[in-house]
Structure 1
Amino acid sequence: MEDLTQEEWAEQLAKDNNAVVLDVRTDDEIADGMIPNAIHLDIYKGQDFINELEELDKGKSYYVYCRSGNRSGQACRIMDELGFDNVFNLEGGILEWQGDIVDID
């Protein structure tokens, strides 16, 4: 796991052809919008969250964010334990995100 600043995250994500963006916030939180093309997996779902992670391709690079960076850090540590090699946490979360946000219908 690596913590990335907003700039590092956006730069690295733009260059990574193997990237997947994960939003680990709650359903209520994603109603405020998401980073474009993100997949939503709620970390508060416990074992269901882990089961959903297990279905992901461990060969891809995962860029993980939450509201402030804490839960996404936890998610990254869980992913490390599950054998994911390339996991990146967005420092400051979506609260500090300067890029695009898409509304969720």
Structure 2
Amino acid sequence: MDKNYDITVEQLKELLEGENQINLFDVREEYEYEDDNLGAKLIPLGEIPDHLDDFKALNGQDIYLHCRSGARSGKAKQFLLAQGFENVHNVIGGIMAFREL
């Protein structure tokens, strides 16, 4: 299986309800995060390059990215993959789909 597979919002919900803490990052803007968030660490898409050390500290661990619809988190995933990161997962549908569960 690809190490960088995408996950569904149903899979994310299972992870969040599980006993293990996950590395979840929200790549939306601060005003979006303040309105509605899942408890992820906020790093807006445009600031991802400035936070590579944060991601390097998670080397070898799964990294989950989400945004409003999955588009920005998909771009963040592609950027991190281009930087050599592995185990990077985009949440398909983002918080909009998550809220429909």
1:19–1:60 contact (8 Å) kept in structure 2:
no
Q: 2-side partners of 1:61 and 1:14: how far apart?
A: 16
TM-score (norm 2): 0.78
Compared with structure 1, are the counterparts of its residues 43 and 22 closer, same or farther at alpha carbon in structure 2 (3 Å cutoff)?
same
User: Which residue is 1:11 aligned to?
Assistant: 14
Residue 76 (structure 2) aligns with: 75
Stretches of structure 1 lacking an aligned partner (at least 5 in a row): 100-105
What does residue 95 of structure 2 align with? Answer: 94
Paired positions, count: 95
User: Helix, strand or coil: the match of 2:36?
Assistant: coil
Specify every segment of 5 or more residues in structure 2 that has no aligned partner in the other structure, as ranges. Answer: none
1:27 paired with 2:30, answer yes
Identity over aligned pairs, percent: 33
The one-character-per-residue Cα deviations of 1:49-71 (angstroms, maximum 9, x if unpaired) are 21203332222211110010000
Please state which structure has a larger fraction of its residues in strand.
1
Give the aligned partner of residue 43 of structure 2.
41
**CA displacement, residues 11-69 of structure 1 (integer Å, 9 cap, x when unaligned):** 35555847300000001111112112x11101123xxx212033322222111100100
Aligned-residue Cα RMSD (Å) equals 2.1
Q: Residues 3 and 90 of structure 1 are in contact (CA less than 8 Å); yes or no, is this contact kept in structure 2? A: yes
Instruction: Decide whether aligned partners of structure 1 residues 80 and 16 sit closer, same or farther in structure 2, where only a CA change above 3 A counts.
Output: farther
Any conservation in 2 of the 1:64–1:88 contact (CA below 8 Å)? yes
TM-score by length of 1: 0.76
